[in-house]
Structure 1
Amino acid sequence: MMRSIYCALTIALLSGFAAQAQDVYVPYNRDVYHWIDRYQIKYGDQLPALHTAVRPFGRQQVAELAEISARNARTSADEFNTQYLLNDNWNYTNQDNNQSDRPVLKYLYQNKTDLYHYESNDFTLRVNPVLHLEFGHDNQSDGVRYVNTRGVQLEGSIDGRFGFYTFIGENQARFPSYVNDRIARDEAVPHEGFWKRFKEDGYDFLTARGYLNYALSKHVEIQLGHDRHFIGDGYRSLAYSDYAPPAFFLKLNTQVWKLHYMNLFQELISESNRSQGGDRLLPKKYMALHRLGLNVTDNLNIGVFEQVVFAREKGRFELQYLNPIIFYRAIEQAVGSEDNAMLGADFRWNIYNRVQLYGQLQLDEFKLNEVKSGNGWWANKQAGQIGAKYIDAFGLSNLDLQGEMNIIRPYTYQHRNTVTNYQHYRQPLAHPIGANLAEFIGIVHYQPIPRLMLTGKAIATRFGQDMVVDGDTLNYGGNVLLPYTTRVSNYGNEIGQGITTNQLHLDLTATYQFRHNLFVDLKGIIRKTDAQDNTLDKNTTYATFALRWNIPQRLHEF
């Protein structure tokens, strides 16, 4: 794998004469990306080059979208949001209003965005602190629940050809009870890699992300780093989500005409440091994924994608999967069909600059005769999503609604073992619950004044939990960590089988932005879990207060 990466980087360096100015990416923050989605729906037909199903987005394209929004903003909230996006991407636009009136100690906060910045013809640098202090109370736990994160974020460019980004944060946390239950089950802290115990019921972990990207030509870029990715326009992704921890990757982005083609090669970890019993080299696995998106019209985008997860002896990469334009299933069959190949499709359709319809279809296994028979064959492993976003709903400015339905059949994403199933560091790579579920999501965003955002979420999920009988786990197809060889039945499988559980997760959050990227959150969460096995019932209320600086909310919505 490393030899192949070195070859790719050598090609990049030798192609320098053709390179164009290169930008870094807007860090994936769901609150900020809601604004980007909002203005893409309203004005995206003027910027069809922004393919929204592959996230994060480049800063230059977001700056271009913000410039369009600046010319059309009609409310004070939209003017504020647009100015935020312009200021946050100031080195890619000349329309920002980012000059600071009162720098600190002459060199700090010379603009409104960055603690320190430097800009010349050859080099740009942005340095910002990272802070997340959150305190709350959970009715199922004793003592204060908290998150304490301190860190730094750096980004910039060199010679207009290289872009670089680094985020590092040191964390200590005491999570609410329902998160602790998940940690105990999977031996992994959600969204994180290596972790250790902190005091009695706390956790200590380091978060690190970083990448280097380079323009091979006007239309092709290469990116090497350690980060998360997200495929799709929904709140959930059934293809590849940002739930699992960052992973090492090599990515190629090609954008020409109406096409966007993304190739992603990743090195994943099949176990966690806790599941393997302390300090030791963890087993590696790999994933290759590509997606081809086409702008059929300025407001309609369709995409097809496929991915394959695999492992080889001594951690070797299967070189045949480096072919960026091959059909992975053909390779998977040719080498012996031991790997986990999947394929799917997605779409996004903006209607009258007010409504967006979107969806995904994921096929883990598909046999038409078995699907038509309706007998619940175990390998009918498919997932589907349909959703809609409604901007300025019912004529009320800055009221945005989103509704989404996700259905995932049992045993989807499972495979023979942990080195071929669809997970990284014992955490799902798609839906955070896993599979064997039907889910309905409703989200309301309302911005009554420029600096205040009110967000309400209702997530209703019906899923099946596994049973434990005499110490043995009966696999009903929901936990992606289990091998499908332990399935309970070949036929008669249906969504919600096992211990049928109905769960309602309600979240109401008020966020106030005091200054650029400095947020205060007041959050209330109510969770009601009603299972056939009464011992698994759990009703949770959780209230928190948080101060965030250059970091998104930490969400646990599973």
Structure 2
Amino acid sequence: MNKFLLSFFIIFSVLFVNAQSPISKQFESSDDRFPVFSICSNLQGKELEECFYNEVQQIVYHNFQVPEYLKKSQYSGVVKVLFEVDATGRFKVIVVNSNNEDLITETKKVFLNFPKIAPPTYNGTPTYSKFNLKIAIPLVSPEENAAVAKAKKENININEGLTELDSIVYKRFDNPQFTSHLGIPFSHSYYAQFDAAINKIGSNNHTATKPYTFAEVEKYYNFQKVNASLMKNKSGWWGRKVFNENLAEIQGEGYWFALNFLFNVQGGISNPSKTDYTYVNTRALNFKGGLGSRLNFTTTFYESQGRFADYYNDYARSIKPSGGNPAVVPGMGIAKEYNSDSFDFPMADANIVFNAAKYLDLQLGYGKNFIGDGYRSLFLSDGTSPYPFFKIDANFWKIKYTVNYMWLKDVRPDVTVEKTYASKYMVNHYLSWNVSNRLNLGFFESVVWTNTNGRGFDANFINPIVFYRAVEFSSSSKSGNELLGLTYKYKWNNQVNLYGQFLIDEFSTSDIVGGDNSWKNKLGYQLGVKYFNAFKVDNLQLQLEFNHVRPYVYSHSEPITNYAHNNQSLGHQWGGNFQELVLLGYYTKDRFYANAKFTIGTRGFDFADSGANSNYGGNIYRDYDADRFADTGVKVGQGNKTSIFISDIQVGYLVNPATNLKFFGNFLFRNFDPTTNTATVYKNQTTWFTLGFRSDVFNGYFDY
């Protein structure tokens, strides 16, 4: 581990190399002050900076003792030192890099004798600052260094012993992601922190397509200011990395990188339970950065093992894939058996975002997307496991237009051939239009098809502005699945937003207006309201949402072209044939937070998995042409009507804002009450308490 950290800091040290000096600096802003030696106390600005550099070089030059055997052998090299001046004004060596151990020892000895000086400040507050020093062997006096720099400035060709690597310029890491086109990790709890600012200040924003980019949000919400307010006064390396910063960070001329370990380590107890305890053990490595002002990227690999409450384990096993693996963990992916009673479920996500023009972002990703202003989305939710996609975002005038090309999988045994899962494809586009300062309307269209007759990714749907319904009908109306939708958001005032969605699956006008509750009325709608700074309490957001989805929505005549991926619905996680009311609350105070969610729902399940008239429209993987319950009189809750109540309360503390690492306690109560108990649907009541640490960088849904 020590060797890893040593190598890492040599490669990724956050520094600035000045052509006039072998010392690099971290100060770039006029609001900052360099550390102050007593001899420099009457100086300011550039003169103070130069005085600091000179004093460090003088101390090293007059105190560094090169071993005699190296002098005799005419040794030549460079010792690289990463050091800091902490918030108390003390010098601390972080890393010394040299191919000679005696030079490393001598370097540390010299720095132990550095005097205590006035510390650096940021916005008037003492802070720490990192610097990089290159010690040339044989020693070169500061005066000689100054002469070399002057000659170089005057284009005099002097052999100064410097290389191209020595001329690399580093800057203070100032969280450049906050102004980048990188996506903000989508967590309902995190997004609630800036929803109020967007609503209060913005009138020409588009909040339905998520994840947001930092560039979209920073116009309304000062990430830098909020981040600075959360910083703890930690001068030591471990304190800063645990509570304030990225594990490693670097910023230079036109580029930046950050590396972090992410964690989800938690343990709990549930009742009833087939095991003694529940747990999740996730370790992840995230690397992100930017090259130039237009290209940003992030990539994360997760390695996880876990065991959940019984109801959740049972659901994961009920949607297992073909091939022998026991489960699909919702939102994560296919799981292997682990220790006979647990799951092993690796996951990865990655995104490359290119800001092609002022109004245009192109994104190549492997992850999830979300369309809507609510807790749920009827159009496209983030409840599935990740998938590859290519997304185009055009944001101009009063319009934001998003096109998303997606590559999906059907992992059922019915369609698996030669141990290979079946491929399916989806394209959707969403146009968001700010009609006025208060009203936003959105128009959604999506089509799903599969690789029938070697169709592959059908070129008919590549054009990003074509009307998919017409193309799907002309290319193969029976092998594609079309969905249409409408959204709205109305700003009642600075504290209240109204929002909603209306979904039409397989548009059939005559059946919709027929009035006989035809099974072809495959409709869904959402109504919601958000209340910001509720009851005049800062940072308290309340939300009430109602979702209603009729039977057979998201299904299709060919189950492979249903609206799903990896046995999980791409729309609402419950599939079809349900309605629910959700009340949510989010509150933050400094680093403390509390979230609460209450769900009251009704679902209609099947009594049997096969047979005539046995499909009541809740299972979106069933063929509704062969065994649907009825043609008319179809209503939400038909079949095995089940009442659901779920309360989910979490309180916690934000450990590190850089990784959104939280220490939390969570309590979930679930009551599941069907009309009739069957092999897969049966009455049960669950209490589940969990305690742990989690990097909150994506949503986890346990309300099934």
Shorter-chain TM-score: what band?
Answer: 0.7 to 0.9
1:290 is matched with 429
Name the structure 2 match of 1:425.
566
Deviation at 1:184, TM superposition (A): 2.4
The amino acid of 1:167's aligned partner reads: T
Distance 2:316 2:656 in 1: 35
Q: Which residue of 1 aligns with 2:292?
A: 159
**Structure 1 range deviating more: 308-317 or 467-476:** 467-476
Q: Distance in 1 between matches of 2:417 and 2:692?
A: 33
Q: 1:316 aligns with which of 456, 459, 469?
A: 456
Q: How many Å separate the matches in 1 of 2:371 and 2:609?
A: 38
2:194 maps to 1:32: no
- 1:539 maps to 685
Does the CA contact (< 8 Å) of 2:541 and 2:585 recur in 1? yes
Task: Answer with 241-250 or 525-534: which moved more.
Answer: 525-534
Q: Name whichever of 214-223 and 230-239 sits farther off.
A: 214-223
Residue 102 (1) aligns with residue 260 (2): no
Q: How does 1:174-323 map to 2 (within 5 A)?
A: 174-187=307-320, 188-271=328-411, 280-312=419-451, 313-314=453-454, 316-323=456-463
Q: Is 1:112 the equivalent of 2:244?
A: yes
Matched, 1:123 2:255: yes
Instruction: State the distance in 2 between where 1:63 and 1:97 align.
Output: 17
Does the aligned pair in 1 maintain the 2:580–2:600 contact within 8 Å?
yes
**Equivalent residues of 1:524, 1:543 under 8 A apart:** yes
- Other-structure match for 1:549: 695
Is the contact between residue 100 and residue 110 of structure 1 (CA under 8 Å) also seen in structure 2? no
State the partner residue of 1:519.
Answer: 662
Q: Secondary structure of the equivalent of 2:476?
A: coil
**How far has the Cα of 1:515 moved from its partner?**
3.3
**Any gaps of 5 or more consecutive residues in structure 1?**
1-20, 71-81, 88-95
Larger mean Cα displacement after TM superposition, 539-548 or 34-43: 34-43
State the partner residue of 1:368: 509
Once the two structures are TM-superposed, the CA of residue 315 in structure 1 deviates from its matched residue by: 6.1
Report deviation, 1:112: 2.6
CA 1:59–1:196: 2 relative to 1, 3 Å = same
Q: Using the alignment, how far apart are the partners of 1:371 and 1:58 within structure 2?
A: 38
Equivalent-residue separation in structure 1 for 2:668 and 2:430 (angstroms): 36
Aligned partners of 1:254 and 1:262 also within 8 Å: yes
Distance 1:51 1:230 in 2: 13
5+ long unaligned stretches in structure 2: 1-178, 321-327
Task: State which drifts further: 215-224 or 472-481.
Answer: 472-481
| Aligned residue in 1 for 2:553 | 412
Q: Which residue of 1 aligns with 2:471?
A: 331
Match of 1:23 in 2: 181
Could you list the per-position Cα deviations for residues 85-129 of structure 1 after superposition, in whole angstroms to 9, with x for gaps in the alignment? xx6xxxxxxxx88798525279x8499331111111221101111
Inter-CA distance 469–482: structure 2 relative to 1 (3 Å threshold)? closer
Question: Which deviates further from its counterpart, 481-490 or 170-179?
Answer: 481-490
Per the alignment, residue 6 of structure 1 pairs with: none
Higher relative contact order (CA 8 A, sep 6+): 1
2:180 and 2:213 in contact (8 A); partners too: no
What amino acid maps onto 2:394 in structure 1? T
Distance (whole Å) between structure 1 residues aligned to residue 635 and residue 238 of structure 2: 64
* SS of structure 2 residue aligned to 1:492: coil
Does the residue aligned with 1:475 lie in a helix, a strand or coil? coil
Distance 1:244 1:62, change over 3 A: same
Provide the C-alpha distance between the structure 2 equivalents of 1:195 and 1:111, rounded to a whole number of angstroms: 33
Aligned residues: 510
Find the aligned partners of 1:59 and 1:522 in 2 and give their Cα distance: 29
SS for the counterpart of 2:345 is: strand
Shift of 1:225: 1.7
**Residues 509-543 of structure 1, C-alpha deviation per residue, up to 9 Å, x if partnerless?**
11211332221111111111111114511111111
What TM-score, normalized by structure 2, do the two folds share? Answer: 0.69
- Report matched runs for 1:343-492 at 5 Å: 343-447=484-588, 449-468=589-608, 474-485=614-625, 486-492=627-633
- CA 1:404–1:221: 2 relative to 1, 3 Å: same
My pick for the range that moved more, 546-555 or 53-62, is: 546-555
Report the Cα distance in structure 2 between the residues aligned to 1:370 and 1:471, rounded to whole angstroms.
26
CA distance in 2, matches of 1:309, 1:368: 21
SS at match of 1:419: helix
Contact 1:284 1:419 in 2 (8 A): no
2:215 equivalent among 60, 67, 82? 60
Question: Which amino acid in 2 is paired with 1:149?
Answer: T
- Letter aligned with residue 524 of structure 1: F
Q: Measured at CA, do residues 305 and 539 of structure 1 come closer, stay the same or move farther in structure 2, by a change above 3 Å?
A: same
1:77 match: none
Check whether the contact 2:460–2:471 (CA below 8 A) recurs between aligned residues.
yes
DSSP 3-state at the match of 1:297 = coil
Match of 1:433, SS state, is: coil
Q: Is the Cα contact below 8 Å between 1:284 and 1:315 reproduced in 2?
A: no
Aligned position for 1:173? 306
Deviation of the 1:30 alpha carbon:
1.4
Match of 2:199 in 1: 41
Equivalent residue runs for 1:83-98 within 5 Å = 83-84=226-227
8 A contact 1:252–1:264 mirrored in 2: yes
Q: Secondary structure of the residue that 2:363 maps to in structure 1?
A: strand
Letter in 2 for 1:290: H
CA offset at residue 352 of structure 1? 1.7
Task: Tell me which structure has the larger Cα radius of gyration.
Answer: 2
Q: Is the 8 A contact 1:509 1:521 kept in 2?
A: yes
Cα distance in 1, alignment partners of residues 180 and 674 from structure 2: 51
The verdict on how the C-alpha distance between 1:105 and 1:407 changes in structure 2, with shifts beyond 3 A counting, is: closer
Measure the CA separation in 2 of the matches of 1:275 and 1:134.
37
Please give the alpha-carbon distance, in whole angstroms, between the structure 2 residues aligned to 1:550 and 1:507. 16
Residue aligning to 2:277:
144
| 1:137-195 Cα deviation digits (max 9, x unpaired) | 11121221111000111111112221111011100010111111212221122112232
TM-score (norm 1): 0.86
C-alpha distance in structure 2 between counterparts of 1:221 and 1:525, whole Å: 39
CA separation of 1:371 and 1:185: change in aligned 2, threshold 3 A? same
Q: Is 518-527 or 364-373 further displaced after alignment?
A: 364-373
1:372, 1:288 → 2: CA distance?
28
**Kept in 2: contact 1:231–1:237 (CA 8 A):** yes
Indicate the SS of the match to 1:333.
helix
Shift of 1:276: 7.3
Task: Give the aligned partner of residue 530 of structure 1.
Answer: 673
Structure 2: distance between partners of 1:318 and 1:391: 44
Task: Name the % identity.
Answer: 31
Deviation by residue 1:371-421 (Cα, 9 ceiling, x = unmatched): 333222111101000000111222333332110000000000001234310
Q: Name whichever of 227-236 and 176-185 sits farther off.
A: 176-185
